[in-house]
Amino acid sequence: MTAPTERPRGGKHVVARTDEIPPGSRRIVELDGRQIGIFNIDGEYVAFLHRCPHMSGPLCEGQVIGLVESSGPGDVRLDESRKFLTCPLHGWEFDVHTGQSYFDPKRVKAKRFPVEVRSGADVAAESAPGAPGTPEAETGAAPESDGRVPGPYIAETFEVAVEQDYVVVSTGRARRK
Amino acid sequence: MTTALLENTTRTELWSGSVIDADVHANVPSMETLYKYQDRVWVQWAQERGWAGPSGLKVAYPPNAPTTSRDEWRLADAPPASDLGALQRHILDPWQVEKAVLNCYYAIDSLRHPDWAAALARAVNDWLVAEWLDRDPRLVGSLVVPARDPQAAADEIDRVGGHPGFRQVMLPVRSEQLYGQRAWWPLYEAVVRNDLVLGMHWGGTPDGAPSTSGFPSWYVEEYAAETQVYAAQVISMIAEGVLRKFPELRVSMLDCGFTWIPTWGWRMNKEWKGLRREIPWVDRPPMDLLREHFRFSIAPIDAGPPAQMAKIVEWLGTDDLLMFGTDYPHRHDDDIAEFLQVLPEGMRANVMSETARRWYRL
């Protein structure tokens, strides 16, 4: 069963079906005028602003690597449970879970966005006209579009399949009651 | 004006506090001087061959070059700085030196004979103790090692490093292998084991090019290019993890100036931020490691206009890095008086004595 939807309101954006971003892959989309990269890292989704805090490089085009650690020369170990996104311009490393720079975690941070995986049923229910958080629920106004999704899917009809899971990014511009 | 001679000023006018000279030299007067400190077999070899000592000395310090000795410090019938009385007359007394660190570069590294080089190092060290360190309580010194053989060098450090007069192990800055590399580590273990400082001074193996890209044609090139050799050794020791492996290691860089350090630090720190996972044992910015593990003698100062010089000093980011040293008898036309004016007031005592006092545990 499918149902036509709008994008979820409150700064949340449905960016892809989960199977469109398999482990080890990424997708760079534009949300609220900002380019944001969504990564599937070993089954977990994280999202970064596509802009390095160092010199605004295309951060989300960089490699995701495990943490290289050492207790001293001759000892080189890879901790694959800790992953870092590296900027392709200068190689700075950012912890995928915190955005913190490896070398200066207190001061240098890459911008992250919360990501969640939602079922198609939830996405459809939350974005139905009049659902909590939608503009018409808040203002009583009519839906701003009918089945057309702003953001990365502008001018495209976005069908939500209830049997699918979706990757939902929050851009932090929610208008919450 | 140069203040190495205390021209137009007096010691106390120049600086009323303590003076520790972190770099004065002792030159071996002649091969014959060392005969009584060597096994007879090496004396016979030298005599049989007419061998007058390692050739590298005259390569590093051409005898008549003005940089090799100030005219005022040349001796009538011996190499400059080859006599304790001359050192006392020229530096220790007029400068009212509290302590001086005596460095002998005899170019033992230019001798390829493994046993003879080790024997020569033993002879030089025993000569330093007998004819210098034990004769003037103001002197502490650097011991020399057969630097081509790190294990033999470690043995020599263990043999004489316990003498209270020795505070440092001298290595020539030019080497066949960069000093960070693991082949050297037995030497550093011995340095740390004996609680000594590792000192690098101009000089080094004749087959180690004095530039980073081969041999220059002219002495002026070699002399001016020496800074890059020091920089290469600092980078090597940091990148290879020597300071992680030997966290107690103290390294003095002598005779290389210091104006290059801040920009070097900016570059190393910048590259480390992106490439640090290649050398994951380097867990701090390289300039932080430099400030902790390295000290520099001030000669040659390479001073520009005072305002610009003051900026360079500020960029060092620490007031505990530089040590006054005359580099006697080598000629640098440094104006110490002007340099003291450039230094922040709180840094002057460190430069003139206190940094060296702490560093060498004087």
What are the tens digits of pLDDT across the range B235-254?
999 999 999 999 999 999 99
Return the HEC string of A17-81.
EHHHCCCCCEEEEEECCEEEEEEEECCEEEEEECCCCCCCCCHHHCCEEEEEEEEECCEEEEEEE
d(CA A16, CA A168): 8
Cα dihedral value A73, B251, B330, B74, nearest 10: -110
Cα dihedral value B324, B329, B330, B336, nearest 10: 30
d(CA A148, CA B195): 75
In this prediction, residues B186-202 reach a mean pLDDT of 97
Q: What percent of chain B has pLDDT over 90?
A: 81
Taking contacts as CB-CB distances below 8 angstroms, the residues of chain A near B248 are none
Per-residue DSSP letter, B347: H
In order of start, what are the domains of chain B with their CATH numbers? Answer: 11-359 (3.20.20.140)
Taking contacts as CB-CB distances below 8 angstroms, the residues of chain B near A90 are 273-274
Cross-strand partners of A115: A169
Q: What residues contact B300, with CB distance under 8 A and at least 6 apart?
A: B255, B257, B327, B332, B334
Burial class (CB in 10 A: 0-12, 13-18, 19+), A145: exposed
List pLDDT tens digits, range A71-106: 999 999 999 999 999 999 999 999 999 999 998 889
pLDDT value at residue B224: 81
In this prediction, residues B11-30 reach a mean pLDDT of 96
Distance of CA A80 to the CA centre of its chain: 21
Pick from B320, B346, B251, B326: nearest CA to B97: B326
d(CA B212, CA B214): 6
Taking contacts as CB-CB distances below 8 angstroms, the residues of chain A near B280 are 68-70, 76
H/E stretch holding B42 reads helix B40-49
Average pLDDT, chain A: 81
CB within 8 Å of chain A, chain B residues 247-306: 272-277, 280-281, 285
**Main-chain dihedrals φ then ψ at residue B327, nearest 5 degrees:** 60, 30
Give residue for tokens 């919450």: A176
Q: What residues contact B337, with CB distance under 8 A and at least 6 apart?
A: B1, B3, B9, B14
**Contact between chains at B281 and A70 (C-beta distance less than 8 A):** yes
Pick from A32, A12, A45: nearest CA to A152: A32
List pLDDT tens digits, range B38-69: 999 999 999 999 999 998 888 888 888 888 99
**Contact between chains at A72 and B274 (C-beta distance less than 8 A):** no
d(CA B244, CA A130): 63
Distance from CA of B183 to the nearest CA of A (A): 13
List pLDDT tens digits, range B111-144: 999 999 999 999 999 999 999 999 999 999 999 9
User: From A84, which residue of chain B is nearest by alpha-carbon distance?
Assistant: B277
**Main-chain dihedrals φ then ψ at residue B82, nearest 5 degrees:** -100, 10
Phi/psi-derived region of residue A118, left when phi > 0, alpha when psi is between -120 and 50, beta in every other case: beta
What ipTM was reported for this prediction?
0.79
Contact B194, B168 (CB under 8 A): no
Q: How far apart are the first and last CA of chain B?
A: 31
CB atoms under 10 Å from CB of B7, counted, come to 11
In this prediction, residues B92-110 reach a mean pLDDT of 95
Please report which confidence band the pLDDT of residue B221 belongs to, taking 50, 70 and 90 as the band edges.
confident
User: From A72, which residue of chain B is nearest by alpha-carbon distance?
Assistant: B281
Per-residue DSSP letter, A172: S
Of B240, B241, B280, the CB nearest to A68: B280
**Contact between chains at A91 and B240 (C-beta distance less than 8 A):** no
* pTM as predicted: 0.88
